[in-house]
Amino acid sequence: MQRILVTGGAGFLGSFMCERLVAEGHDVICLDNFFTSQKTNVAHLLGKPNFELIRHDITLPIFLEVDQVYNMGCPAAPGHYQYNPIKTMKTSVMGAINMLGLAKRCGARILQASTSEVYGDPEEHPQTESYRGNVNPIGPRACYDEGKRAAETLFMDYHRMNKVDVRIVRIFNTYGPRMHPYDGRVVSNFIRQALQNEDITIFGDGQQTRSFCFRDDLVDAIIRMMNNTEGFVGPVNIGNQGEFTIRELAELVIELTGSKSKLIQQPLPADDPTRRKPDITLATKHLGWTPTTPLRDGLAKTIEWFQSIDLNDYRPPTP
């Protein structure tokens, strides 16, 4: 039994992480400022004796005694992280400094939820961890991409200088139940639009690609990385290697929902990566992990969840 802090623990991935860790019997502290999430994501855990919820912003210091920290607090969808780009950068950088300081003081192991966005619009395909990326440092995505890159730098410097026990995972596009239905990400947009028989908005020609990983596979890999005993620090890519064009994704969502929606084109956002696919050789070697959920099955589960919620319960992000 470990005392575990999950920042961003009320979010899409964080809430499932808390659920898994509570079920494993750990003492879990969920810390969140609810910028892009709502308490309903963790409401089912509130009565458990080994779960605690704290409203706190990680740009500010906090003093807690824990054995492990999963640092997942950060808006992740382009519409969310561009809402207040300066705050996004502060969350990544000051949040990393505060959580690394906490880990250093407690002697805790700390894992950073980094991202495939550190590769920017990649010139290497598929992306390996040694690829240094192609990020526009002054573009509209930079607050997130560069913030996450700076956080990786801080993690490695605390590791080298202060011997903090760090782990870095680079997460590729992940989807599943509890995605914010209005986060503007492609999976949530397409499912919501299909279920309401609204036009499905393809940005650009829809030939850009992404590789979509189901939430449960992703969280499994992250927990393995945290508990890896080889001293493997990473960074390690975590994602599904199935690569789909955005148009293929739209067609699959229409098929699975039986929707009457039509595909329409909208302008491609600036700096939108043209293709993305993880090389997961390192994850397989060090974590004994490969994703097991095909896109079709994961989407079916996600659609089922979207059908079960009331969209009026969700609100756009607030400052």
- What amino acid positions are annotated as catalytic residues? 144
Residue 277 within binding range of ligand UDP, rule CB under 6 A: no
13 binds, among ligand UDP, ligand NAD, none (CB under 5 to 8 A by kind): ligand NAD
32 binds, among ligand NAD, ligand UDP, none (CB under 5 to 8 A by kind): ligand NAD
How is 224-284 classified by DSSP, letter by letter? HHHT-SS-----EEE----EEEHHHHHHHHHHHHT----EEEEPPPTT--S---B--HHHH
201 φ/ψ angles, rounded to the nearest 5 degrees? -90, 105
- DSSP E strand stretches across the chain: 3-7, 27-32, 51-55, 68-71, 109-115, 165-171, 174-175, 200-203, 209-211, 213-214, 236-238, 243-245, 263-266
Q: Which is nearer to ligand NAD, 158 or 175 (CB)?
A: 175
Rounded to a whole number of angstroms, the minimum distance from the CB of residue 260 to ligand NAD is 28
> 174 to each of 12, 58, 140, 198, how far by Cα in Å?
10, 23, 21, 23
Structure tokens given for 175 = 């989807």
Q: How far apart are CA 191 and CA 275, in angstroms?
A: 21
Q: Which is nearer to ligand NAD, 7 or 193 (CB)?
A: 7
Rounded to a whole number of angstroms, the minimum distance from the CB of residue 82 to ligand NAD is 13
Q: Is there a contact between 142 and 134 (Cβ–Cβ < 8 Å)?
A: no
Indicate which single residue of 113, 246, 253, 287 sits in contact with ligand UDP (rule: CB under 6 A). 246
CA angle 273, 183, 193 (to 5 degrees): 95
70 binds, among ligand UDP, ligand NAD, none (CB under 5 to 8 A by kind): none
Rounded to a whole number of angstroms, the minimum distance from the CB of residue 270 to ligand UDP is 10
12 binds, among ligand NAD, ligand UDP, none (CB under 5 to 8 A by kind): ligand NAD
Question: Residue 138 carries which DSSP code?
Answer: T
Q: Under rule CB under 6 A, which residues in 128-147 are in contact with ligand UDP?
A: none
Residue 242 within binding range of ligand UDP, rule CB under 6 A: no
Q: Which is nearer to ligand NAD, 95 or 206 (CB)?
A: 95
317 binds, among ligand UDP, ligand NAD, none (CB under 5 to 8 A by kind): none
Binding to ligand UDP by CB under 6 A, coded x per residue (else -) over 187-206, reads --x-----------xxx---
Question: Residue 116 carries which DSSP code?
Answer: G
Q: Would you tell me which residues interact with ligand NAD (CB under 6 A)?
A: 7-8, 10-14, 32-37, 57-59, 72-76, 80, 91, 95, 113, 115, 171, 173-174, 180
Burial class (CB in 10 A: 0-12, 13-18, 19+), 318: exposed
Strand partners for 203: 266
Residue 173 within binding range of ligand UDP, rule CB under 6 A: yes
Q: Which residue from 309, 165, 195, 178 is spatially nearest to 261, judged by alpha carbons?
A: 195
Rounded to a whole number of angstroms, the minimum distance from the CB of residue 143 to ligand UDP is 13
127 binds, among ligand NAD, ligand UDP, none (CB under 5 to 8 A by kind): none
Question: Which residues are near ligand UDP by CB under 6 A?
Answer: 77-78, 173, 185-186, 189, 201-203, 208, 210, 246, 268-269, 272
